[in-house]
Amino acid sequence: MSHNSFGHLFRVTSWGESHGPAIGGVVDGCPAGLSLGEADIQPFLDRRRPGQSKYVTQRQEPDQVRILSGVFEGLTTGTPIAFMIENQDQRSKDYGDIANTFRPGHADLAYHLKYGVRDYRGGGRSSARETAIRVAAGAIARKVLGDGVRVRGAMVQMGADRIDRARFDFAQLEQNPFFCPDPSSVDRWEELLAATRKSGSSLGAIIEVVAEGVPVGLGAPLYAKLDADIAGALMSINAVKAVEIGEGFASAALTGEQNADEMRMGPDGEVEFLSNHAGGILGGISTGQPVVARFVVKPTSSILTPRQSVDRFGHEVDVLTKGRHDPCVGLRAVPVGEAMLACVLADHLLRHRAQNPDAPTRPRLPRN
């Protein structure tokens, strides 16, 4: 069962609400002997942190992570790694409206009917604040994967405006506040976001995450497929409504000839694929090519325009969301998507190792 955990051998349990004293997580199953400290986690949290640019929520949180267990003299011990981030900027305000009113596009009504009780302050458990835990867990997952595996993400569409794929360059990511890999899109996105913020509206976004150096063999033929677990993990992020691997939905319009990734032998005995429509996963198992996934983050419903809704007393009301919010929550989802992909890969790496300890890590064939 996994109400608030994910993964099996690399297992993450998350807890905490937006306006409680803290949020935190426990990583269970991390192998012993890995070098780990707060300094390995903090940079990833800093990338996700709100309040850094005018484009994201102005909540001011230092998001300082503290490791509470599982590390001794700088090395993981094989016991559970607990970490915690204190909530500091829980702006006190009158939550009366939110307490009784159900915001359209949010889960307020469903939570109310399911649980009877809910912590409505700042979204409670469903606040995007929780994604900091995923990012911290992802930093630990990267340690498990090792330096040979590189997991990166980028925003490839803001609103209806998609990047020019021919210009995709990961090196551009740090040059702009949008995790945008195409420099030709940056100015347009800036204008778009400014206009959206001004109008109190919001935008959706599409994020692409890529893992390079993934060993061949992670996953299983059915059910515990690597792509099924990636899909579940990315869809578990707040506001995500779709996930695709490799060619994804576009593969419907391809023929079998176009979609099949042909293979040749490389000079060093490693199989070379001539394309990567499959996104690095075939039959549920990694091929050794880069694993490529995309997901959409819907436009947040926290907007300034009044929308029709109801309250807990069965009254019809109009709702608008004041206060600090993101016009494009997809922006902060890039490090989160990376982290989830890293966690799934770490989990499957351990699972693969348990069952197939002698399997090769690269797609090499004996040449003769």
Site for a second copy in 267-326 (CB under 8 A): 269, 271, 274, 278-279, 282-287, 296-303, 305, 307-310, 312-316
**Residue 297 carries which side chain, given as an amino acid letter?**
V
Judged by beta carbon, residue 296 or residue 342, the one nearer a second copy is: 296
Task: Give the bridge partners for 11, in sequence order.
Answer: 28
Site residues for a second copy, 26-55, by CB under 8 A, read: 26, 28-29, 31-33
202 close to 302: Cβ distance less than 8 angstroms: yes
**39, 222, 267, 268: which one binds a second copy (CB under 8 A):** 222
Count of all residues that appear for the chain in the document:
368
Q: Which is nearer to a second copy, 73 or 174 (CB)?
A: 73
Which residue's structure tokens are 């899109």? Answer: 185
Binding residues for NADP(+): 48, 54
The answer to the question of residue 92 lying near a second copy (CB under 8 A) is no
* 61 lies in the site for a second copy, by CB under 8 A: no
List 122, 153, 181, 204, residue binding a second copy (CB under 8 A)? 204
* 11 binds a second copy, rule: CB under 8 A: yes
Where does this chain touch a second copy (CB under 8 A) — which range of 57-65, 88-96, 151-159, 186-194? 151-159
Q: Token pair for residue 169?
A: 């360059």
Tally of CB atoms within 10 A around 322:
10
Q: Which residues are CB-neighbours of 119 under 8 A, at least 6 positions away? A: 17, 18, 19, 20, 125
Closest separation in Å from C-beta 124 to a second copy: 7
Q: Which of 45, 136, 193, 203 binds a second copy (CB under 8 A)?
A: 203
234 binds a second copy (CB under 8 A): yes
Identify the residue among 106, 129, 143, 197 touching a second copy (CB under 8 A).
106
DSSP β-ladder status, 307-311 and 101-102: antiparallel
Is the Cβ–Cβ distance between 241 and 344 less than 8 Å?
Answer: no
195 touches a second copy (CB under 8 A): no
Residue of the chain from 40, 61, 247, 338 that contacts a second copy (CB under 8 A):
247
Subset of residues 165 to 194 that bind a second copy, contact rule: CB under 8 A: none
Q: Which is nearer to a second copy, 153 or 299 (CB)?
A: 299
Q: Hey, is 112 helix, strand or coil?
A: helix
Interface pick for a second copy out of 47, 48, 118, 143 (rule CB under 8 A):
118
Bridge partner list, 263: 273
Q: Examine residue 365 and tell whether it contacts a second copy (CB under 8 A).
A: yes
Contact 237, 228 (CB under 8 A): no
Classify the phi-psi angles of 217: left when phi > 0, otherwise alpha if psi is within -120 to 50, otherwise beta.
left
Give the shortest CB-38-to-a second copy separation in angstroms: 12
Helix/strand/coil (H, E, C) string of 212-230?
ECCCCCCECCCCCCHHHHH
**Site for a second copy contains 341 (CB under 8 A):** no
346 sits near a second copy (criterion: CB under 8 A)? no
Binding segment toward a second copy, per CB under 8 A, in 40-48, 88-96, 175-183, 227-235: 227-235
Residue 165 DSSP symbol: G
* Cβ atoms of residues 216 and 361 within 8 Å: yes
Q: How far apart are CA 296 and CA 45, in angstroms?
A: 21
How would you label 124-144 residue by residue, b for 16+ Cβ within 10 Å and e otherwise?
bbbbbbbbbbbbbbbbbbbbb
Q: Which of 190, 261, 276, 324 binds a second copy (CB under 8 A)?
A: 261
At its nearest, how many Å lie between a second copy and the CB of residue 158?
Answer: 8
What three-state secondary structure class fits 299?
A: coil
Q: How far apart are CA 40 and CA 24, in angstroms?
A: 16
**Nearest CB to a second copy, comparing residues 161 and 187:** 161
For residues 73 and 94, which CB has a smaller minimum distance to a second copy in the complex? 73
Q: Compute the least distance from the CB of residue 228 to a second copy, in Å.
A: 4
The residue from 48, 63, 65, 124 that contacts a second copy (CB under 8 A) is 124
Does 100 help bind a second copy (rule: CB under 8 A)? no
